[in-house]
Amino acid sequence: MAGTIRLVLGDQLSRSLSGLAGLDKERDVVLMAEVIEEVTYVRHHKRKVAFLFSAMRHFADELREEGITVDYVRLDDEPTVAAFPVRWRAR
């Protein structure tokens, strides 16, 4: 049986996030993505962007260590966010 895709954004890096409540480690998937629009809609210092992406990657690693499936899309990954429908259709 399919689970739920749980979206976690860069400003939601907390285990107390309501979107993670009741997460089923066997079926659910946490989706995290480095999205260029999130860091370009207003000017950000390069260090802030690097810190944000680093924090996201560390949080994803923490979730994986807890046995949670995380689909993490890095900014430099292929396919890009535009390909999410194709990416998820394969699941």
- 36-54 per-position pLDDT tens digit: 788 788 888 989 889 999 9
Q: Could you tell me the CATH number of the domain that includes residue 9?
A: 3.40.50.620
| Residue 76 pLDDT grade (very low, low, confident, very high; cuts 50, 70, 90) | confident
As for how many domains the chain has, the answer is 1
Give the DSSP H or E segment for 2. Answer: none
Could you tell me which residue, 78 or 88, shows the higher pLDDT? 78
- 3 state SS of 8: coil
Q: In angstroms, rounded to a whole number, what is the distance separating the alpha carbons of residues 21 and 35?
A: 24
Asked whether residue 82 is assigned to any structural domain, the reply reads: yes
- In this prediction, residue 64 carries a pLDDT of 98
Is this structure's pTM higher than 0.85?
A: no
- What is the tally of helices (H) and strands (E) in the chain? 3, 3
- Pull the structure tokens for residue 22: 């009741």
| Residue 59 pLDDT grade (very low, low, confident, very high; cuts 50, 70, 90) | very high
Asked whether residue 19 is assigned to any structural domain, the reply reads: yes
Asked whether residue 91 is assigned to any structural domain, the reply reads: no
* Residues facing residue 85 across a β-bridge: none
| Domain assignment of residue 44, given as a range | 5-86
Asked whether residue 77 is assigned to any structural domain, the reply reads: yes
